[in-house]
Structures are given as C-alpha cells and as structure tokens.
Amino acid sequence: MATILVTGGAGYVGSHCCLALKRAGHDVVVYDNLFNGHERFVKWGPFERGDIRDKARLAEVFARHKPAAVIHCAALIEVGESVKFPDRFYDNNVAGALALLDVMREAGVGPFVFSSTCATYGEPLRLPMDETHPQNPVSPYGWTKLMIERASRDIAAAYGMSFAHLRYFNAAGAAPEEGVGERHEPETHAIPLALMTLLGRRDGFKIFGQDWDTRDGSCLRDYIHVLDLADAHVRAVERLMSGGESLAANLGVGDGVTVIELLAAIERVTGKRVPASPAPRRAGDAPALVANNAYARRELGWTPARDIDAIIADAWKWHCEVEPKLFS
C-alpha cells in the first residue's frame, strides 16, 4: 500500500477518490486551496492547504509526505465561466498542472492520474464515443483539459513518468453515509438542480431544448456514479504504481438517459414530480453524449456498478439528510 496525493481532494470527485483509496488500504494526503472544495470533506488523511500553481508549497508537501503517486482533480470546472473568463481557466488548470508535473518530476514521482473529461471530444461525430474519437473541444474548459493531456503525455515520455487520463462523462450521485456529496457554487448539474427544486431551494427546473435528435427531443447524457468513478481512479493508480502502461480511458456507463427520462426516474425514486418547464437550447450543448467504456473495462478490470436509480437515491439522501446538517 502507498501514500497517494490527491489534488482537489476536498472537492466532489476528489473526496470520493480519497474514500475509495482509503477503502483500498492506501494512505491519502489532500492538497486543496478550498476555492471549490470543502474542508469538512477531508476525512481520510492529512490536509495540506495550497494552490497547485505554488511550486514551493507543493515541494514542501512532497518532501513531507513522500507520495508514491498523484491523482490530480484540482481544476476550475464550470464551462460557462470558462467562456467568460478563459484566462483564469488557462492559468489555473494548465499552468497549475504544469507546476504540479514539474514538482513531481523533481521529487521522482512518476504515476499521474488525471481527472479529464469527455469535453475534450467536443461535438460527437459518432455514438457511443470511444477513445479514438477526434478531440476538438468547444469550450476553454475542454481545451484546458486537452492541453493537460497533451502536456502530461509529452512530459511522461521525456522523463520516464506514466499517466492515466480518465475522461469522465456525467459524474453524479454521492456517498451520503460517509458524509460526502455534490455541492457546487453555483450548481450547474442536472440531478442536483432537479433535487434542489424538489426541496424548495430553487424555483423550477428548465429543460433546455425539446427538439433535439433524441428519442424524446430532450438532451441525452451518460450519468456515472461518483463512487464508480472513484473505483476507476484506484484501479488506474494501482496499475501505474505496479509498472503498468499509461492509458487514456472513458468513464461512463455506456448508456444514456434523456432529461425527460431523468425527471421520470427522479419521480420513481423520490415519489415526487419535479416542476419543470421548457427553455431554449443552450449554445454548446450536444444532443447526446454516451461513452464507449470497453477500453476501461478491459484495461482496468472496471465495471460501473450503479444505475440511474441508485445515483438518484444516493443524491436524494445526500441533499435531504446530510448536506443541510453539514452546511447549515
């Protein structure tokens, strides 16, 4: 078992990765500036507060904890904000990752697991999307993630490091029994927005476009439980630490749920109907995004275990019972 540094480990996906790593027997160190993260999500190892652009602070943390590998989840993530303020995203996401990789190289730490995204693909040319799909992002956020993929691939080749680029589709769900879940400010993701509407924390839920080329006219997305994502991170970091080859892999269920089907599933799980209204299409939305996950299944021995009902049930319990107590 090894010590793993998780940047952004106080955030949504990062905190669930820390939980999964601890369950697998690893020691965890969280590095986070708390811009998007929450200190109360740091539960499974020591917390080191710092910015990923701060090489001196990173070097201190590496010297103190001597991690064997890094899982890099720290990033600005809101797509719309990346269009408004692209400079902030390139500075934080790209410059920060380069600083981290430089400190890793200096410390002799080779394995780098990167929290990437299906946004690196851009508009889908075919579905489901596999790893050979062209990468042509449509937002600065997507470009920052693709730039980090390219840079870490080149740096790994030059200095004998290794990488796993894990391209998430739609992360969702929570681990309510462990006290971690989804809490973003502002919140932009469909499932928490719908559940917050049910709880009276929002006025209503909007369906952006009802004339898409899908089975019911609403956008279709591939929702993957955050604990299934975390399991893939554990498998990826263990692969790299044991000398396995670098890889880039899609993390999705391999099936899609439309917005209208999502609302029906929420009613099925909660017994409550989400008040929803139609709205115009949003610029940049794709009709459908679905992963071909065969490569991750084969290379990581990974299988997503939770369906949309399980995702909603965990998210509902989190938003109803746990989040209000933690953030009251």
List the catalytic residues.
141
Strands 162-168 and 223-225, by their bridges, are unpaired
Distances (CA, A) of 260 to 201, 205, 277: 21, 11, 11
Residue 165 near residue 289 (C-beta atoms within 8 A)? no
Which whole-number Å values give the CA distances from 91 to 76, 94, 151, 241, in the listed order?
10, 6, 14, 29
Contact residues for 30 (Cβ-Cβ < 8 A; gap 6+): 6, 9, 10, 14, 18, 42, 45, 46, 47, 48
Nearest Cα to Cα of residue 164 among 219, 79, 236? 236
Rg (CA), the chain: 19
CB atoms within 10 A of CB 8: 25
Residue 110 CA to residue 132 CA, distance in Å, equals 25
Residue with the two structure tokens 């681990």: 175
Question: Smallest Cα–Cα separation from 145: which of 126, 121, 129?
Answer: 121
How far is 165 from 203, CA to CA, in rounded Å? 38
The closest alpha carbon to 241, from 97, 44, 67, belongs to 67
Type of residue numbered 211: D
C-beta separation of 72 from 10 below 8 A: no
